[in-house]
């Protein structure tokens, strides 16, 4: 049985950065194998992890919809494509959802994809899903529940409101079966008291605070994978502390 952890929040708040660090944390802890799922149509978890991505599931879905299955049964074809989409690394694999659906009905293609992904995820101890804002597409693409949700917010009220809404939606849709942890990211100095009050008011559980870090920003600008920053980098250090008290203690 795999344990699914999803990362969600408003745009640009540091979701992919945290998801990449979570993958690294699990691998370093020996909690393997891990499947990293890039559920953002604007694929970029691979960059944070420092991997090339040749093919995405969106491409395969498009082929399926057009009825291209190279003379194979559809099940076999999608299984082959899913395996081709998997990028293998030490301790973890990465798969990306890629392009969103075009117009028309994708039900048949999605059903096959879901069945294939569900079967695949049974091979992993942990699944880490990096999302785009919103939770709807999680339940569309896999029938698996999310056992732990990290909602990320920068130190703004709007971003915090988005995090609380995503939590509410995940609970309402029955996708989330476990705890939801808030991580404040890109925080300069101390978080303002008004922000901490708003966290309480929204009933969010604050798991940790990540600083706005220049080294991380410049590593990213240089096109280097931010998940590989040294362990004494303040963002890596704080993120690992968060995982220690949430993921490792569950």
CA 230 to chain centre: 22
Is residue 217 a contact residue for ligand ATP (CB under 6 A)?
yes
58 binds, among ligand ATP, Mg ion, none (CB under 5 to 8 A by kind): none
Shortest distance, position 129 Cβ to ligand ATP, whole Å? 12
- At residue 92, the 3 state secondary structure works out as strand
Integer CA distances (angstroms), 91 to 13, 14, 41, 171, 242, in order:
27, 23, 24, 31, 21
By beta-carbon proximity to Mg ion, the closer residue of 10 and 15 is 15
Shortest distance, position 98 Cβ to ligand ATP, whole Å? 14
Out of 13, 37, 78, 138, which residue is the one contacting ligand ATP (CB under 6 A)? 13
Size of the site for ligand ATP (CB under 6 A): 19
Mark residues 220-249: x for contact with ligand ATP by CB under 6 A, - for none. x-----x--------x--------------
By beta-carbon proximity to ligand ATP, the closer residue of 112 and 138 is 138
Shortest distance, position 138 Cβ to ligand ATP, whole Å? 15
Which residues, numbered 11-50, are part of the site for Mg ion (CB under 5 A)? 15-16
Alpha-helix residue ranges (DSSP H) falling in the chain: 15-28, 45-49, 57-65, 74-85, 107-121, 136-141, 157-172, 193-201, 214-221, 234-246
By beta-carbon proximity to ligand ATP, the closer residue of 45 and 247 is 45
11 binds, among ligand ATP, Mg ion, none (CB under 5 to 8 A by kind): ligand ATP
Shortest distance, position 12 Cβ to Mg ion, whole Å? 8
| Sign of the dihedral defined by the CA atoms of residues 195, 16, 39, 62, in that order | positive
Distance CA 196, CA 194 (A): 6
Phi and psi at 35, nearest 5°, equal -110, 120
Distance CA 60, CA 55 (A): 8
Shortest distance, position 15 Cβ to ligand ATP, whole Å? 4
The pair of structure tokens assigned to 16 is: 């992919």
Shortest distance, position 16 Cβ to Mg ion, whole Å? 3
Distance CA 134, CA 122 (A): 25
Asked whether 147 and 126 are in contact (CB, 8 A), the reply is no
Out of 3, 4, 6, 14, which residue is the one contacting ligand ATP (CB under 6 A)? 14
Site residues for ligand ATP per CB under 6 A = 9, 11-17, 40, 185-186, 210, 212-213, 216-217, 220, 226, 235
């Amino acid at each position: 049985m795999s344990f699914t952890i999803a990362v969600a929040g408003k745009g640009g708040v540091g979701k992919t950065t945290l998801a990449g660090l979570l993958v690294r944390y699990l691998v370093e802890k020996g909690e393997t194998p891990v499947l990293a799922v890039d559920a953002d149509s604007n694929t970029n978890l691979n960059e944070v992890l420092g991997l090339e991505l040749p093919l995405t599931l969106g491409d395969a879905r498009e082929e399926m919809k057009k009825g291209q299955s190279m003379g194979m049964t559809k099940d076999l074809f999608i299984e082959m494509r899913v395996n081709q989409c998997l990028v293998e690394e030490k301790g973890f694999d990465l798969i990306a959802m890629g392009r969103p659906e075009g117009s028309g009905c994708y039900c048949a293609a999605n059903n096959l994809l879901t069945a294939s992904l569900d079967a695949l995820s049974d091979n992993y101890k942990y699944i880490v899903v990096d999302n785009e804002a919103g939770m709807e597409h999680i339940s569309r693409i896999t029938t698996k529940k999310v056992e732990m949700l990290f909602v990320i917010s920068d130190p703004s009220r709007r971003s915090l409101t988005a995090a609380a809404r995503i939590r509410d939606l995940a609970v309402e849709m029955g996708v989330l079966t476990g705890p939801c942890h808030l991580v404040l990211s890109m925080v300069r100095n101390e978080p303002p008291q008004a922000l901490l009050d708003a966290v309480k008011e929204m009933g969010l559980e604050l798991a940790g605070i990540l600083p706005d870090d220049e080294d991380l920003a410049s590593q990213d600008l240089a096109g280097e994978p931010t998940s590989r920053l040294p362990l004494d980098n303040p963002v890596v250090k704080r993120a690992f502390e968060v995982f220690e008290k949430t993921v490792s203690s569950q």
